[in-house]
Amino acid sequence: MVTEQREYRFPEGFLWGSSTSGPQSEGSVAGDGKGWNNWDYWYSQEPELFHQQIGPEQTSTFYEHFQSDLDLLVETGHSIFRTSIQWSRLIPEGIGEVNPQAVEFYRAVFAGIRERGIKLLVNLYHFDLPYVLQEKGGWENKEIVWAYEAYARQCFSLFGDLVDHWITFNEPIVPVECGYLGSYHYPCKVDARQLWS
């Protein structure tokens, strides 16, 4: 059997990369100052709804081993990498005081990416609303929009020198559809009227 070998060439300037998010790769690390988010709370209440009862604290080991993980980006030829900042890690109460351990962590990660010659794209929100804000009504409460604006400004101020591109929301329709038309995202209301609030 003869197999044909093909050579693929990407255009000049093509950005080759991958992505992850804080909630999927960092998890909850004891003693690092992270506050609860909607996923932490939901899992604590209904772990049976999560695949094999694997919750937000059980993620990859990126938080502890990010330097070696970043080396893998170089090894696989990345020119760009997308990740996110966990709002509940940076500002545990959703508004107000910034967690210095989070600043140190994200600056180390972002600097490590830049040092390896890889462009950095950071997503500000990957479905992880600080639970304190969820208790105030979550995205149904218009005040949360102002809290998000303050959080975004804080991110730009703290990390803007290391980030090449920003994204505001990851798949913004998903929490709406899955949290208000289905019960796959917290708050699992399944209420079309509240969907439009």
The reply to whether 181 falls in a domain is: no
The reply to whether 188 falls in a domain is: no
φ/ψ (deg, to 5) at 79 = -115, -10
The reply to whether 127 falls in a domain is: yes
Quote the pLDDT of residue 197.
65
| Stretches in the chain below the pLDDT threshold 50 | none
Quote the pLDDT of residue 89.
96
SS (H, E, C) 115-148: HCCCEEEEECCCCCCEHHHHCCCHHHCCHHHHHH
The reply to whether 135 falls in a domain is: yes
Shortest CA distance to 156 belongs to which of 92, 104, 85, 99? 85
Cβ partners under 8 Å of residue 137, min gap 6:
144
The reply to whether 185 falls in a domain is: no
The reply to whether 30 falls in a domain is: yes
Quote the pLDDT of residue 36.
93
pLDDT digits (tens, 9 = 90+) for 132-146: 999 999 999 999 999
**The CATH number of the domain where 104 resides is what?**
3.20.20.80
Which structure tokens are listed for 79? 């020119």
The helix (run of H) or strand (run of E) holding residue 81 is strand 80-84
Give how far Cα 193 sits from Cα of 1, 136, 178, Å.
61, 18, 14
Quote the pLDDT of residue 130.
97
Quote the pLDDT of residue 191.
80
How many domains, the chain? 1
Domain enclosing residue 143, as ranges: 17-48+55-171
Residue type for position 21:
S
The helix (run of H) or strand (run of E) holding residue 19 is strand 17-19
pLDDT digits (tens, 9 = 90+) for 175-192: 888 888 888 888 888 887
Quote the pLDDT of residue 50.
81
Is the whole model's pTM more than 0.85, yes or no? yes
- In a 13 Å sphere around the CA of 110, the CA atoms on its Cβ side amount to 25
The reply to whether 8 falls in a domain is: no
The reply to whether 2 falls in a domain is: no
Quote the pLDDT of residue 104.
98
Quote the pLDDT of residue 174.
86
